Structure 1
Amino acid sequence: MGRLQSGLCLILQLFGILSRMHLISGLSPDGLALLSLKKSFVDARGRLDDWLESDSTPCWWTGVSCDDLDAVIGLNLSAMDLSGELSADVGRLVSLVNLTIAQNNLTGNLPGEMSALGGLRLLNISHNNFSNHFPANFSRLKALEILDAYNNNFSGPLPMDLAELPNLTHLHLGGSYFDGIIPPQYGNLSRLSYLALSGNSLLGRIPRELGNLTQLQQLYLGYFNIFEGGIPSEIGKLVNLVRLDLSSCGLTGAIPPELGNLPNLDSLFLQINELSGSIPPELGKLAAVKSLDLSRNELTGEIPAELNQLQNLELLSLFLNNMQGDIPLFLGELPNMQVLFLWGNSFTGAIPRSLGLNGNLIKLDLSSNALVGSIPVNLCAGQKLLVLVLLGNDLSGSIPASLGQCNTLNHVRLGSNQLSGSIPEGLLRLNNLQMLELQSNRLTGSLSDHAVNAPLLQLFDASDNQIHGALPPDIGKLGSLQKMFLSDNRIWGEIPRGISELRSLSNLDLSGNQLSGQIPAELGKCTRLLYLDLSVNKLSGEIPSELESLQVLGFLNLSRNHLTGSIPPAFNMLQGLSSVDFSYNNLSGPVPINGQFDYYSASAFAGNPGLCGHAIAPCPHALNETSSSSANRSIAQRLGPGLKIVITGVGTALMIVMVFLLRFACCRKEQLNKMFGEKASHRHPWKLTTFQRLDFDSHHVLECLRDNKIIGKGGNGTVFRGIMPNGEVVAIKKLKKGGNMGCSDDHGFSAEIETLGKIRHRNIVKLFGCCSDGEINLLIYEYMPNGSLGELLHGSKSEILLDWNTRYAIALQAANGLCYLHHDCFPLIVHRDVKSNNILLDSSFQAHVADFGLAKSFQEAGKSASMSSVAGSWGYIAPEYAYTLKVNEKSDIYSFGIVLLELITGRRPNDPGFTADGLDIVHWVRTRYFNEEQGLLQILDPRMLCSNFPFNEVKAVVGVALICCSMNPVERPTMRDVVQMLVAARPKSRVNTFKDSDKSESPLIAI
């Protein structure tokens, strides 16, 4: 017996030795499969460099885990910046249990060979760019429990065969382009606890069969899907549901009372739909609910009294509905209430006095209702209140003194009410206050009684009140102030010299007061001023020449004062000055000539008998000569003695000569390169770097750089059209050289590579690769046969009429591309050069955001970065970027708003007609849209009048554009909100029409 046991042990040892022979003879089959898999990736950062054929086992490789027999059971390659494709070799890993390749840039199709992974339990392929139809043979993965395919480019119908996976508990197919219906068979996934299909293009009805998923805890079906009908009452059977998100998906009808049967529901999101009727009282049975958002619907009636049972409620959002009645008293008594948004309804009565007494209130917005009475005194009882917005009501009484001690406040908006009394002591000293709006009330008192020291305050608006007294002498302590509006009050005295400390100031309006004395010369130190209005006061003396330093000033109104002297002649050098008014003063002398002054109307100088020139009255000959040389004399006086002028002139001449010689040398070098061939001067061979599989090399790219293939030229280089050997058409952008004058600018090459090399989205232009020899940089893109939106609106293709469906589609698609950059990329990406010329159109007129040469990554939304200079295109640059040199994602949103206005008006943002009227496109649209009868027709592109267009839909998009172009970046929406507002702008009845027009071969109408 002992000999038998010894023999068996010897046999087992021998078997173990044989099973591990690969340790001596080479890699295991799993290791070889991984090496083959590696060849299909583009590993730009070398994350898989330790995957070596010379190793004896793959179990120590990055991302690989093995069992006791060295079989690969786990492969985690998440967030490694991999591109390329996932090859069929993954199917050779027969023991694989966990496959995670999320947050990369993999493209192409998922290999059907994955169905061989019979033991796979977790598959995470989210945040890649897999495209085309989802593999049907995934149904063979019977052991699969978790399938996360979020944020890819899958299209076609949702995979029906997934309903055959009996062990599936987590299914996430959101963020792709699936269309068609939700298969009713998904209701058979009895073990499912998580289902997310949001962010696709699904249609049809929400299947009633989903009510069979009784284990479901989270259900997400909203965003971009457009469902017919309403919410199925069967959803009320999902008794384990914790979160239900059906927002922004076109739902109609009433909210089913059966939703009150969900005892574990924590969050209910039904916002941005077309739900109607009243709020069912049965929702009061949702004992566990913390967040209830029913905003942006068509709900009517009053807030049900039964909601007083929601003792765990933290957020209630009902804004932009048609609700009415009093705000219930119990809302102030809910112990956990933190956020209450009821704005944009027809609520009446008083604000509950108990609001804030729970000590947890953080945000309160009751604006645009018909509320009366006074502001409750306990809103900040817990010292947590951040946002208080009550504007646009009929509130009376004084502003509670307690707000002056609420140190957490950062946004206070109380304008357009009937408030009286003085501004509470301490309100202008709050450390966190950023916005204070008190305009259009009946406030009295004196600002000079306040010691001001709010270090973060950016906007202060107390215009159209009855405030009297002098301006605070320590006003310079508001160091972050960007906009101050105090017009139409009773303020007297002089403008404090300390105003020069407001170096971030962009808008200053002190008009309609009783200010006296001179305009302080120190105001010229506020070099970021864009808007200055001191009209209708009692100011005297001369206009200080120091105001010539306001190089970005766009609006200047000094009318109806007692000013004397002449208009400083160097004002004609202020290139951005688009609107001026010097009327009704005592000014004399010639009006400056040339520059912007050639475009101003005579009314801007009326009421000054001593002024001459322009369109007023001819000047004597001597005064004309004085006018023609006055700007030079002004500069000379500031420089000092005549010798300095001579030295400066000589230095300038020498500098011009040096620049000419250097430029001549550069041009001569280029001529020699062309004569002998550019390749002769290159020191390095051409290198082609690809971001996906390409069937061509650098030689094929270089063959396309011929003059007869040029399709465009821009500030940074030339674009060529190239046809590769396989027939694929590409666009090749040859960037300008950095130059030989100490400039290391690569004209956006690094930024393009860094950005487009790692992102994929159907509304962002594809970067196939780049080619460089160390001196010349080439970028290879997908070809866009219909050029740019700018060309269609203003350029060589402007004779073609874009109908409204196409314009709307372009707007929504471009918004989707920018939304991806801002919300789905980490770190988020700010484009910094959004304009119509950078929105390219493919053969189906689908929009693609392009040109990422100025793009910048941000780790956190809302955080600004300081730039060394303003970059971008004139007319699209956000005002705060121009005067603070700080940029964040809100700068892109302003630029996108300008693009929307271009689409609607057909005009360029810097149209000469705007300048002649002293306006820009934003103000031009606002003045005509709101102040004239048939305002929409006044601004609409005349070419669109040749065809029918949906009046209300266009009107809604104008509203979106103007919100995007808000002067205050805080008031601009996020890009995700912009997408939702554009979707909401199109009535559900027109959605199918829109989708049909997308499929047409040509959405254009010739004229």
Structure 2
Amino acid sequence: MFTSLPYLVVFLCFLSSFSSVLSSDFEALLKLKQGFNPSNPISLKNWDSSNSTSICFWTGVKCLHGRVSSLDLTDLNLGGTVSPVLTTLDSLIHLSLAGNNFSSRVELKNLTSLRFLNLSNNVFNGGLDVWNFSSLPNLEVFDVYNNNFTSPIPNGVLKLKKLRHLDLGGNYFFGEIPSFLGELITLEYLSLSGNDLQGTIPKELGNLTNLKEIYLGQFNVYEGGIPKEFGKLVNLVHLDVSSCGLDGQIPTELGNLRLLDTLYLHMNHFSGGIPRELGNLTNLVNLDLSINALSGEIPHEFVNLKNLKLLNLFMNKLHGSIPDYVADGLPNLAILGLWKNNFTGEIPRNLGQNEKLQVLDLSSNKLTGTIPSNLCVSNQLNVLILMNNFLFGSIPESLGSCVSLVRVRLGQNYLNGSVPNGLIYLPKLNLLELQNNYLSGNLPENEDPSLLNPVKLDQLDLSNNHLSGNLPISISNFSSIKFFYLEGNQFSGPIPQSIGELKQVIKLDISKNNLSGLIPPEIGSCAHLTYLDLSQNNLSGSIPQEICSVKIMSYLNLSRNHLNGTLPMSLGSMKSLTSPDFSFNNLSGELPESGQLAIFNASAFSGNPLLCGSFLNNPCNSTLVQNPNQRSNNGEFKLVFALVLLVCSLIFAGAAVMKAKSFKKGSDSWKMTTFQKVDFTVSDILECMKDGNVIGRGGAGIVYHGKMPCGSEIAVKKLLGFGPNRHDHGFKAEIETLGQIRHRNIVRLLAFCSNKHTNLLVYEYMRNGSLGEALHGKKLGGFLGWNMRYKIGIEASKGLCYLHHDCNPLIVHRDVKSNNILLNSNFEAHVADFGLAKFLAHGGASECMSAIAGSYGYIAPEYAYTLRVDEKSDVYSFGVVLLELLTGRRPVGDFGEGVDIVQWSRIQSNCRKENVPLILDTRLTAVPQDEAMHLFFIAMLCTQENSIERPTMREVVQMLSEYPYHAMGYQPAPSSSLLVSNNNNHYNSGNNNTKQQFNDPKKG
């Protein structure tokens, strides 16, 4: 018994030591908890301050050898501060504070045993250059992903000799990638993506031969290309250098990376052919080379990529046929994206027979032949997009039973035959577009009652085909449909009353058919309807009163039917109605002189001889005849009125002269804010404001031309409609923001002058006036050659791209038109006139305006209908400008009543690029047909009615920059801004480019 006493003593000493050590950790964690935000007490409810022995069972705590070894507080929604008491936990080997809201600096000194440190998904700020990394010699994992750290990458990282995992992604690190990172030879994982890094990618990274994953793209903008030394990273499994401005050719040395399963090089400026050496990467699962400038054909060596599941080559300049091995030799292929290239030939016959195909997008190529019949042989296909090709034949009947389909876009081809039974009633189908084909036959009823409830169709477009017969009653089961287009067909019979069951429909177009009978009053039940077009049918009867109950309707076209009776008086109370058309019917009665109806253009009621009203030039009491005495009295009245008008004009002219003198004398009361270095004064500016110097008038103000004493020329805009305190309500702040804009293709704002009565904007002078004058004036239009027009288009797009993507907050112009694109002495384009510009905060979310602003013919449909504006509204307007460049025509006025340049271009060309010569400006000579078709294609994209389907201005710049213009000696430089792909046009739901919601490349 006594011999065991020493062991007992040792054991008691150990317990005492264990207790004291555990006690110190206990106190440290309690102090740590005190710094946290107490608004979420449940997260750390079991951190019991009265029981130190329970510490190892607390939430997020693990112990090893009597010490707290791991602290993981991931996703507990904690906030507040991280206390310096962490420095006493010197045995901690695992620390994770991910997913919280900490905002203070983290104290980590003395953690000499720490091996795992994860601070990801928080809002830590400051720089890492103040951290003492020498106190963390055993660190193996260092992860600060998705915080707000700002500094160059610290050289202290070099002291982490055992580091295997380094993730600095999703922060604001700046400067170049330091070459010393190539000395961290133990690294297996490196992520620098989603920062503000620049310069070249150092070749020294090729020394990291243990590396398995590397992520360098997203928001970083590098120079040059991928170092060929990357070919030494033979253990690499995942390589992602997407979206970072790289150029040059893809190095053939990447073919050495035999273990690679993912290669992401998309959204760069790579050119040349696809290296055939990539066919050596037999383990490759994901290959994305999309949105570059690659040319040539798909290498035959890709037949070796048996494991490939994703192949994206879209938005390049590839040509040739789609190899048959894509269907026969790639048994695991699930996603194939080849859209917007120049592929020809037929779609491989066996495509889809591997029973794995889920997404197929071959749109915007030059493919011919028929659609393969086995694309959905195993009901795996979700997305099928083949639009804008030269496909013919019928739509395979098998697609009518492909229950996995979500999005189908087959428009703008030469397809014929009937719509397969069941296709429009598929249970998961969200989008179906079959427009602009030659489809015929009846629209089938749903023959499977089990499919009535799960219908999820959001948009159905069958327009401009040869479909006939009655509208099926079962379309009323599309309970989720929002956009319904059936115009330009041969449907007959009545509009079914069940159409009132479309409770979610926003836009309904059944125009240009042979429909007859009454307008069903049940349409009034469609409470979300903003656009209704029933024009050019054989409808009869009166306009149902129930239509007036749709309070948000902004577009109503019932023209060219056989409607009779009077207009419902409640139409006058539809405040949202801005674009009605009741013309060419048999309507009768008197139109009121007040209310909403009285403000519409008289053309909206033309062709109804029995309608009367004073503003129709058809007064209801027009039978009155004047007697001679009345005519004599009227003549005397006109003479007196003319004399009074002359006297008033003289008085007004005298007052104007006096005001002009006082205007100049009061220059001392003016305040001038300059945004550039100028050599003139307020007095010099006021001196040029004479009637003889007026060079433009608009709704926002009068523009004067002035030559300053120093010889420089300016344009002065006197803003109209602003009260004396207008610049005190945010206006001055907006002007100062505009004054900070520095872009070659935006007119420079030189100064802002104001007094208590007037505001003046001083711009640089553009000698060659506006693009509108150059195109539509009497002299210059014929001399603006094709190359000059294309050059102007690309320069204007770059100016708008800067406003949308590089300004903070982003700026929506709201009045993009050819008259607001000014040309300097070299005919270089400059976007001008920000009188209606809107600053959009909150990530660019659309905002609702109080009234429509802009110019007729350029206003986007959704802006006119809903008063909501975002950057896509500018994109539509710019598409109109592109059509002006292409056609030489004005946006409105040249095409007949109610038709604008967008509608006319679509009708004349049938939305087909090969018909572009039919709309081309006849004053142009020697126009490259491929460039004209390319410009037309971009214009059609920009003017899509659904704003989601329009490209961003970054994409517009990218697409316009695809052609060199040798005749002008002009070579467009690649956009310095990163192109952000808008795959809304295909199958994605949207983009999110904010740093705080940065997509984790590790999570695919």
Structure 1 residue aligned with 2:581: 581
TM superposition shift of 1:208: 1.1
Partner in structure 1 of residue 705 of structure 2 = none
Give the whole-Å Cα distance in 2 for the aligned partners of 1:403 and 1:913.
Answer: 33
After superposition, give the CA deviation of every residue in 1:422-464 in whole Å (9 maximum; x if it has no partner): 1122213322222111111111112257658662222211111
Q: Establish whether residue 242 from structure 1 lines up as the match of residue 234 from structure 2.
A: no
Output aligned runs, 1:384-533, within 5 Å. Answer: 384-447=380-443, 451=447, 455-533=455-533
How far apart are the structure 1 equivalents of 2:868 and 2:517?
30
Cα pair 1:448 1:469 within 8 Å, conserved: no
CA 149–985 in structure 1, closer or farther in 2 if over 3 Å, else same: farther
Deviation at 1:576, TM superposition (A): 1.6
Residue of structure 1 in register with 2:629 after alignment: none
| Offset of residue 383 of structure 1 | 1.5
Q: Which residue of 1 aligns with 2:17?
A: 19
SS at match of 1:214: coil
Q: What corresponds to 2:35 in structure 1? A: 40
Equivalent of 1:341 in 330, 337, 344: 337
* AA at the equivalent of 1:468: S
Secondary structure of residue in 1 paired with 2:524? helix
Tell me, yes or no, if the aligned pair for 1:792 and 1:798 is still in contact at 8 Å.
Answer: no
Q: Which runs of 5+ in 1 are unaligned?
A: 624-789, 811-840, 850-874, 879-890, 940-951, 995-1007
Letter in 2 for 1:414: L
- Residue 88 (structure 1) aligns with: 84
Structure 2 matches for 1:492-641, cutoff 5 A? 492-613=492-613, 615-617=615-617, 619-620=619-620
Asked if 1:802 is matched to 2:751, the reply is no
> Cα offset for 1:121?
0.4
Contact 2:879 2:943 in 1 (8 A): no
Aligned match of 2:25 in 23, 30, 35? 30
Q: Which residue of 2 aligns with 1:163?
A: 158
Match of 2:214 among 201, 214, 219: 219
| Aligned: 1:107 with 2:56 | no
Distance 1:981 1:91, change over 3 A: farther
Q: Does residue 59 of the first structure (1) align with residue 56 of the second (2)?
A: yes
Supply the AA of the counterpart residue of 1:55.
N
Report the counterpart of residue 151 of structure 1 in structure 2: 146
SS of match in other structure, 2:616: coil
Q: Secondary structure at the match of 1:587?
A: strand
- 1:257 paired with 2:218, answer no
The aligned residue for residue 845 of structure 2 is: 896
Q: Structure 1: which amino acid aligns with 2:90?
A: V
Cα drift, residue 993 of structure 1: 14
> In structure 2, do the counterparts of structure 1 residues 498 and 143 end up closer, same or farther at CA, with 3 Å as the change threshold?
same
Q: What SS does the aligned partner of 1:156 have?
A: coil
Deviation at 1:13, TM superposition (A): 3.6
Deviates more, 1:381-390 or 1:39-48: 39-48
AA matched with 1:586? N
Secondary structure in 1 aligned to 2:151?
strand
Residue 124 of structure 2 corresponds to: 130
Deviation at 1:800, TM superposition (A): 4.0
Report deviation, 1:505: 1.8
Q: Structure 2 vs 1, CA of residues 22 and 901 (structure 1 numbering), >3 Å: closer, same or farther?
A: same
Match of 1:1005 in 2: none
| Residue identity opposite 1:522 in structure 2 | E
2:174 alignment partner AA: D
In structure 2, distance between residues paired with 1:428 and 1:147: 52
| Partner Cα distance (1:258, 1:445) in 2 | 56
- 1:103 Cα deviation after fit: 0.8
Structure 1 distance, partners of 2:359, 2:492, is 36
1:968 deviation in Å? 7.5
Change (3 A) 1:989 1:478: closer
Closer, same or farther in 2 for the Cα pair 1:51/1:432, shift >3 Å? closer
State the Cα deviation string for residues 566-585 of structure 1 (Å, max 9, x = none). Answer: 11110122222121111111
Residue deviations 1:659-714, cap 9 Å, x none?
A: xxxxxxxxxxxxxxxxxxxxxxxxxxxxxxxxxxxxxxxxxxxxxxxxxxxxxxxx
Structure 2 vs 1, CA of residues 109 and 960 (structure 1 numbering), >3 Å: closer, same or farther?
A: farther
Indicate the residue corresponding to 2:177 in structure 1. Answer: 182
User: What CA distance in whole angstroms lies between the structure 2 residues aligned with 1:289 and 1:231?
Assistant: 19
Q: What's the CA shift for 1:32?
A: 2.2
Query: 2:175 and 2:851 mapped to 1: Cα distance?
Result: 34
Give TM-score scaled by structure 2 length: 0.66
Instruction: Count the aligned residue pairs.
Output: 729
Shift of 1:140: 2.7
Residue 173 (1) aligns with residue 171 (2): no
The CA deviation at 1:474 is 3.0
Give the TM-score taking structure 1 as reference length: 0.66
Q: What is the CA distance between 1:229 and its match in structure 2?
A: 0.7
Give the Cα separation in 2 of the matches to 1:982 and 1:136.
42
The equivalent position to 2:198 in structure 1, one of 191, 194, 203, is 203
* SS across alignment from 1:75: strand
Counterpart of 1:967 (choices 906, 924, 946) is 946
Kept after mapping to 1: 8 A contact 2:614/2:620? no
Give the drift of 1:286: 0.6
> d(CA) in 2 for partners of 1:243 and 1:138?
28
Is the 8 Å Cα contact of residues 341 and 364 (structure 1) preserved in structure 2?
yes
How far, CA to CA, are the matches of 2:513 and 2:102 in structure 1?
A: 64
Contact 2:852-2:867 at 8 Å conserved across structures: no
Distance 1:199 1:902 in 2: 39
SS of the aligned residue for 2:142 comes to strand
Report SS of the residue matched to 1:108: coil
Deviation at 1:132, TM superposition (A): 1.2
2:6 is the counterpart of 1:8: yes
Once residues 345 and 904 of structure 1 are traced to their aligned partners in structure 2, the CA distance between those partners, rounded to angstroms, is 38
* Deviation by residue 1:898-941 (Cα, 9 ceiling, x = unmatched): 6999999899x9999986999988678636732652599999xx
Match of 2:884 among 917, 928, 933: 933
Instruction: After TM superposition, give the deviation of residue 272 of structure 1 in Å.
Output: 0.5
- Report the AA paired with residue 223 of structure 1: Q
SS in structure 1 at match of 2:218 = coil
Q: In the superposition, relative to structure 1, how do residues 212 and 586 fare at CA in structure 2: closer, same or farther (>3 Å)?
A: same
1:963 positional shift: 7.5
1:517 deviation in Å? 1.3
CA distance in 2, matches of 1:12, 1:206: 59
Q: Which whole-Å CA distance do the structure 1 matches of 2:848 and 2:743 have between them? A: 11
Alignment of 1:295-314 (within 5 A): 295-314=290-309
Q: Give the deviation of 1:413 after TM superposition.
A: 0.7
Going from structure 1 to structure 2, the CA distance change for 1:475 and 1:82 (only over 3 Å counts) comes to closer
Once the two structures are superposed, what CA deviation does each residue of 1:189-232 show, in whole Å capped at 9, x if it has no partner?
Answer: 22211111100001111111111111111111110011111011
Is 1:120 aligned to 2:114, yes or no? Answer: yes
SS in 2 for 1:300: strand
Q: Cα offset for 1:845?
A: 8.3
Letter of the 1:933 counterpart:
E
Secondary structure class of the residue paired with 2:173: strand
Residue type of the partner of 1:544? P
> What residue in structure 2 maps to residue 856 of structure 1?
none
Describe the shift of the 1:938–1:494 C-alpha distance in structure 2 as closer, same or farther (beyond 3 A): closer
* Counterpart in the other structure of 1:945: none
CA deviations on 1:600-648 (whole Å, 9 max, x unpaired) are 211111111122226213544799xxxxxxxxxxxxxxxxxxxxxxxxx
What amino acid sits opposite 2:321 in the alignment?
D
CA separation in 1, counterparts of 2:371 and 2:153? 52
What amino acid maps onto 2:946 in structure 1?
A: M
Classify 1:795/1:158 alpha carbon distance in 2 versus 1 (closer, same or farther; 3 Å). Answer: same
Per the alignment, in what secondary structure is the counterpart of residue 347 of structure 1?
strand
Alpha-carbon separation, structure 2, partners of 1:583 and 1:993: 48
Identity of aligned residues (%): 43
